[in-house]
Amino acid sequence: MRTLGLEVDGWDSHRAGQHLDVRLTAEDGYQAQRSYSIASAPADPLEITVERLDDGEVSPYLVDDVGDGDAFEVRGPIGGYFVWDGDEPEPVLLVAGGSGVVPLMAMARHRARVGATAPMRLLYSSRTWDDVIYRDELESLGIEVVHTLTRGQPPGWTGYTRRIDDDLLREVAFPASDGPRVYVCGSTRFVDAAADGLVRLGYYPRSIRTERFGATG
Amino acid sequence: MESRVLDGNAAGGLLLELFGVELTAAPCVCSGCGAREEIARLDVYVDCPGVVIRCRHCHNVMLTIVRGPERTWVDLRGTRGLEL
């Protein structure tokens, strides 16, 4: 996992939740392109957080090799659906699976940066405590954070230890009657399970914005 | 290999490049079942030669995009309307 600061010519700003595409071109002309969520708040310098996938074509370069001053092609910002601008009063429920937390982190940072008052709660599923991205910063953003650690827990862990299911959602999510906005990001399986569970809790399907993260390296 | 199903967010960059506007939030009407959903709420298959976008309700192919070295083919037969 690595967070990279980018300087992009002509980049104006972005909205919290958007992503960008990185395209690498080899000397022989071969191109590989991947999408990465923007991790920073719109008012802060542009950053992406990249998870290294061993068999990936782009992420090993971005995590292991790229250094200060290196250049590559960037397209974006992209997305007008999976975004939160911070001026809506409804409570916001963020549901993250693994590195799906990255665009949600941009929303949490944006909320802190602009002093938005909408209550925000993050339900974050990770394999182990060591896999939790932004672990310390999450505690300082003024949002509620609920972790579930599905593969291993540190000694003395008293939090959730299972994959997200209907009971867990019922305990953590705002009541549907509060009219919350929801953003869910993770693998396709994770996103569909969380979104279906929230609908069973009475959430209006159109209030649930989802982004399926493709592990495309 | 089983084709991975993502969603219209994953096609946002390609659509932005082809059409010059952000389209993931644009509602799109399926010619198969008439469902109206934002492109972000459609299923996107990326492990094919090109990109295939299907209706999440009836699985009708709404949009295909195939890129060649010099030109791009866009098939919109499965889309009855697109709101911009």
A214–chain B Cβ distance below 8 A for any pair? yes
Same domain, A163 and A198: yes
B40 and A35 in contact by Cβ < 8 A?
A: no
Number of domains observed in the structure of chain A: 2
* Neighbouring C-alpha atoms within 13 Å toward the C-beta of A41: 15
Question: A-contacting residues of B 9-28, CB under 8 Å?
Answer: 9-10, 12-13, 16-17, 22-25
Residue A217 belongs to some domain of the structure: no
Nearest CB to B40 within list A35, A82, A216 = A82
Q: Is there a single domain that holds both residue A167 and residue A102?
A: yes
Domain membership of residue A150 as a residue range: 92-212
The complex's ipTM works out to: 0.93
- Tens of pLDDT, residues A111-133: 999 999 999 999 999 999 999 99
Where in the sequence is the domain holding B45, given as residue range(s)?
A: 5-82
Query: Would you state the pLDDT for residue A93?
Result: 98
**In chain A, alpha helices (H):** 59-60, 101-114, 135-138, 166-172, 188-200
Q: Cα distance from B25 to chain A (closest Cα, Å)?
A: 5
Q: Which of B6, B12, B41 sits opposite A214 (nearest CB)?
A: B6
How much of chain A exceeds pLDDT 90, in percent? Answer: 94
Same domain flag for A33 and A121: no
Give the pLDDT confidence score for residue A72 in this predicted structure. 95
Within 8 A by CB and 6+ apart from A67, the residues are: none
Six token digits for residue B16 = 């932005």
Nearest to A208 by CA among A90, A35, A37: A90
Per-residue pLDDT of chain B (84 residues; tens, 9 = 90+): 456 899 999 999 999 999 999 999 999 999 999 999 999 999 999 877 889 999 999 999 999 999 988 999 999 999 999 999
Nearest to A188 among B4, B8, B16 (CB): B4
Q: Which two tokens stand for residue A205?
A: 């399907």
- Cβ burial of B67 (10 Å; 0-12, 13-18, 19+) is middle
Amino acid letter, residue A187: S
For residue A108, what is the domain's CATH number?
A: 3.40.50.80
Integer Cα distance of B49 and B22 in angstroms: 23
CA A93, A99, A103, A107 dihedral sign is: positive
* Chain B partners within 8 Å of A188 (Cβ): 4-6
